[in-house]
Amino acid sequence: MASRNRKTSNQIAKAFKNIIKKIGNFFKKITEKIKALPSKIKAIIIVWLVILLIIILLIVMISSNKNKLETYHNYEKVVNDAAIKYVTNNSLHGAKESKLKVDLEVLKDEGLITENDLKDNTCLGYSLTYYDSETDTYSSNSYINCKGYTSEDYYEFK
């Protein structure tokens, strides 16, 4: 069994070496063809390659930033849900005009938020919660301040 695995891994290694060699040869041929072009055309090609590289980098940066924002927006939702549970469990009724401020540390102390819920342990925050008698539901707006993100209006209600 071990010799079969070794043989398979050797075949895979040879295949990868062959692929890498072919890719290297491909780029060598392209480089040679570009070198044979007039200098003005080479300059145009270089400019377009730089533009293409910049576009690719921007796309990667934007998509990673979007994922990061989505993570923190999920954190805000977790704090919202925990604050509503806290207010409901303790029969607290803030009004729309005078919302109850529930600190993130209180929610952690009550066990409503765990380390698994907020993986970024640098986060501080609070939730403004109230009971809406018209809709007969609790509503909450949560604000967090973490090392890499701060909710809009976080400092306005702090």
User: Are the C-beta atoms of 128 and 113 separated by less than 8 Å?
Assistant: no
According to DSSP, residue 133 is labeled T
User: Are the C-beta atoms of 125 and 151 separated by less than 8 Å?
Assistant: yes
- The H-or-E segment that residue 125 falls in is strand 124-132
Has residue 1 got a pLDDT over 60?
no
Q: Bridge-partner residues for 92, per DSSP?
A: none
Has residue 26 got a pLDDT over 90?
yes
Q: Determine the angle formed by the axes of helices 2-35 and 39-89, rounding to 10 degrees.
A: 130
pLDDT, tens digit, 9 for 90 and up, residues 118-135: 877 788 899 998 888 788
Q: What is the rounded distance in angstroms from the CA atom of residue 70 to the CA atom of residue 74?
A: 6
Across the range 5-11, mean pLDDT stands at 80
pLDDT, tens digit, 9 for 90 and up, residues 91-120: 777 666 678 889 999 999 888 988 888 877
What one-letter code names the amino acid at 123?
A: C
Has residue 147 got a pLDDT over 60?
yes
According to DSSP, residue 111 is labeled T
Q: Percentage of the chain with pLDDT > 90?
A: 28
**3-7, 105-109, 137-141, range with the lowest pLDDT:** 3-7
Higher pLDDT, 117 or 18: 18
> In whole numbers, what is the pLDDT of the chain averaged over residues?
85
Phi-psi region of 13 (alpha: psi -120 to 50; beta: other; left: phi over 0): alpha
pLDDT, tens digit, 9 for 90 and up, residues 34-60: 888 898 988 898 899 999 999 999 888
Which residues, including other chains, have CB under 8 Å from residue 145's CB and lie 6 or more apart? Answer: 123, 124, 125, 151, 154
pTM (2 d.p.): 0.59
Q: What is the rounded distance in angstroms from the CA atom of residue 36 to the CA atom of residue 40?
A: 12
- pLDDT at position 135 is 81
